[in-house]
Structure 1
Amino acid sequence: MTETYSTQILKDEAATLHAASILARQLKLGQVIYLHGDLGAGKTTLVRGILHALGHVGKVKSPTYTIVESYPLAIGPCHHFDLYRFQDPEEWEAAGFRDDFNAESICLVEWPEKAGDLLPVADIEIHFDILPEGRVLHISSQQALALEAICQ
């Protein structure tokens, strides 16, 4: 299995949206993507860019209070989870989201650590670090990803 590791510096929101469009072209149904980072790091901005690149037209809101927002896309459904408010991993089990993780959908999960080890293993993990001017994006994957164009 080929692994990909990439570290990119994103100077602004436009760079984050560009990175999202590069990532979106490589996503496939059945994949689980974890997004790690502090509040305000850019996780939802990256998801918005991914969804728009996959054809969603309209607003993309943070699912902080709803926990999940689902988007019917041409490729198939995409579920955007935000587990920030979970206090215990068992809340994940009680919420009944397990069925959303299947071969016919893409799942993007912010704050996956809040579900402990109850979530499916990530196909792609994205970590954000906040800089005084921009963000550092660390991407790791169990598959080969073409990420060279992210910072162009």
Structure 2
Amino acid sequence: MEKGEISRLDSVMKIFLADTEATLHLGITLGESLTAGSAILLKGDLGAGKTTLVQGIGKGLGIAESIVSPTFTLINEYTEGRLPLYHLDLYRLEPQEVAALNLESYWEGIEVIPGIVAVEWAERLPYKPDSYLSVNLTYGNGGTRQAELIPFNCALSETIAAL
């Protein structure tokens, strides 16, 4: 497949990312097109680009503040963009520890303003939102990366589908 080429299998979208800038651009596109209440569950090895993708989402939302991985704080909230961005990192936690955090309040908008919820290391979630976009980032040949986007009970916008 060529740089930036997409293959679709049912509702799975695969995007080949040539470099960090391509990962950031995908995030920007997501940030520009997602609506309040959207949840993005991110999976991938260390260094696969999860935080870079979330940084792009923040740029797409118009957030000027520097977006960093909340590995030790668990949750960073950015509220000055088009929509709030709630960035969660579950790397250090076990599923039973995650269950006690009541993270559903973020994607249900119960105690926070509805926004975009991006969860790194989402495979550690013992429960998931009713609808979400699963993004799995993997390494490819020659330093490239691949993003696999799978919507669950939601649809990809035309902008994302046109990538």
Which TM-score band (shorter chain)? 0.7 to 0.9
Contact 1:86 1:115 in 2 (8 A): no
Deviation for aligned residue 1:122: 4.3
Corresponding residue SS for 1:8: strand
Does structure 2 conserve the Cα–Cα contact (< 8 Å) formed by 1:33 and 1:122?
no
Superposed, which structure 2 residues align to 1:9-24 within 5 Å?
9-24=16-31
The percent identity for this pair of structures is 33
1:106 aligns with 2:116: yes
Higher relative contact order (CA 8 A, sep 6+): 1
**Structure 2: 5+ residue runs without aligned partners?**
1-9
* Distance (Å, rounded) in 2 between the aligned partners of 1:7 and 1:51: 22
Q: 2:61 touches 2:83 (CA, 8 Å); kept in 1?
A: no
1:94 to 86, 91, 100: 100
Structure 2 matches for 1:66-105, cutoff 5 A? 66-87=73-94, 89-103=95-109, 104-105=114-115
Consecutive unaligned residues in structure 1, runs of 5 or more: none
Q: Deviations over 1:79-98 (max 9, x none)?
A: 001101112x2212323433
Identify if the C-alpha distance between structure 1 residues 134 and 122 changes in structure 2 by more than 3 Å, giving closer, same or farther: farther
Of the three residues 105, 115, 120, the one matched with 2:129 is: 120
Structure 1 Cα separation of the partners of residues 23 and 56 of structure 2 = 8
CA RMSD of aligned residues (A): 1.8
- The two structures have a TM-score, normalised by structure 2, of 0.81
1:35-74 matched pairs, under 5 angstroms: 35-74=42-81
Total equivalences in the alignment: 146
Between 1:139-148 and 1:24-33, the stretch displaced more is: 139-148
2:123 & 2:107 partners in 1: Cα distance? 16
